């Protein structure tokens, strides 16, 4: 079963609509999209079933802060034809579905009311990509004429600080560029790895919240979820989400289960 959540958007300019955000779960297998590997039939079947009749926007992730914008189905086709590498997608076309893949990195869903309608998108934000939400805000303001008060964010399930340990260099990077409270020391009893270098716990959520506060996004426009992709379990006690750290680093598996994070808009 997917992890999905809906939001009602009742702004008069868009006549009310439902924002649906979905994250595929661990049982569905890898939804990875890599151009050089060719098509991923599992991913294609899944997205066709969830979004019949809609055009998926596909990109290959590179842990950057680059965002592409698609207005039409032809734009989506060109992005795929050119094998675009980026980590975020924004669109103002309700027939399009932005999709990114994650496996511990944070999926960020964003939507905003503009004078011409609603703009929405999906972002992939790992430690290298933290800051991509700020780029999305800049694009929404400059290209779509959106006011910050009309921008909404949902920070989806990701590896939380209960499982995400980092070294001093990365800890200092986040202290300096985001906030000091997104980093805390790990006690010996809290350690989940034997590495002596991984002394700190990193909260990607707190880092992104600090960023959104800096950009002036109202707190009431931000939704968060207390779910860790590394350690969350389903009702049967099995892993709920795909996780790079749990599967590859801790279990030593060759491959890990990337999940599809998607957002769509449905008018009422």
pLDDT of residue 2: 76
Distance CA 267, CA 209 (A): 29
Query: Across residues 121-128, what is the average pLDDT?
Result: 96
**pLDDT confidence band for 251 (50 / 70 / 90):** confident
The percent of residues in the chain predicted with pLDDT above 70, rounded, is: 92
Here the tokens at position 8 are 């009602």
pLDDT of residue 254: 77
pLDDT of residue 79: 96
- 3-state class of 228 per DSSP? strand
Element of type H or E holding 224: strand 222-224
Q: Give tens-digit pLDDT for 54-100.
A: 999 999 999 999 999 999 999 999 999 999 999 999 999 999 999 99
In terms of Cα–Cα distance, which of 246, 226, 245 is closest to 156? 226
Asked whether residue 17 carries a pLDDT value surpassing 80, the answer given is no
The percent of residues in the chain predicted with pLDDT above 90, rounded, is: 79
Asked whether residue 153 carries a pLDDT value surpassing 80, the answer given is yes
pLDDT of residue 187: 66
Asked whether residue 194 carries a pLDDT value surpassing 90, the answer given is no
pLDDT of residue 14: 47
**Taking the CA of residue 21 as centre, how many other CA atoms within 13 Å lie in the half-sphere pointing to its CB?**
24
Least confident window among 9-18, 55-64, 119-128:
9-18
Q: Give tens-digit pLDDT for 171-186.
A: 999 999 999 999 999 8
Tell me the Ramachandran region of residue 181: left when phi exceeds 0, alpha when psi lies from -120 to 50, beta otherwise: alpha
């Amino acid at each position: 079963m997917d992890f999905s959540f809906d939001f009602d958007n009742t702004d008069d300019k868009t006549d009310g609509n439902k924002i649906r955000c979905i994250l595929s779960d661990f049982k569905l297998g890898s939804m990875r999209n890599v151009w050089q590997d060719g098509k991923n039939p599992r991913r294609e079947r899944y997205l066709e079933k969830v979004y019949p009749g809609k055009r998926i926007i596909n990109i290959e992730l590179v842990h950057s802060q680059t965002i592409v914008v698609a207005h039409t189905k032809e734009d989506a086709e060109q992005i795929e034809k050119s094998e675009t590498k980026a980590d975020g997608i924004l669109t103002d076309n309700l027939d399009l579905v932005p999709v990114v893949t994650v496996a511990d990195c944070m999926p960020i869903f964003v939507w905003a009311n503009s004078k011409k309608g609603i703009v929405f998108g999906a972002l992939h934000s790992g430690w290298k990509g933290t800051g991509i939400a700020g780029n999305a805000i800049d694009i929404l303001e400059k290209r779509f004429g959106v006011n910050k008060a009309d921008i909404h964010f949902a920070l989806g399930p990701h590896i939380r600080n209960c499982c995400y340990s980092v070294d001093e260099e990365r800890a200092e990077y986040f202290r300096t560029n985001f906030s000091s409270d997104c980093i805390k020391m790990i006690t010996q009893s809290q350690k989940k790895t034997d590495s002596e270098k991984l002394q700190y716990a990193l909260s990607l959520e707190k880092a992104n919240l600090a960023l959104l506060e800096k950009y002036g996004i109202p707190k009431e426009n931000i939704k968060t979820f207390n779910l860790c992709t590394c350690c969350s379990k389903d009702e049967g006690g099995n892993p709920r989400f795909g996780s790079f750290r749990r599967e590859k680093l801790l279990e030593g598996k060759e491959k890990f289960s990337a999940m599809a994070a998607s957002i769509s808009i449905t008018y009422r």
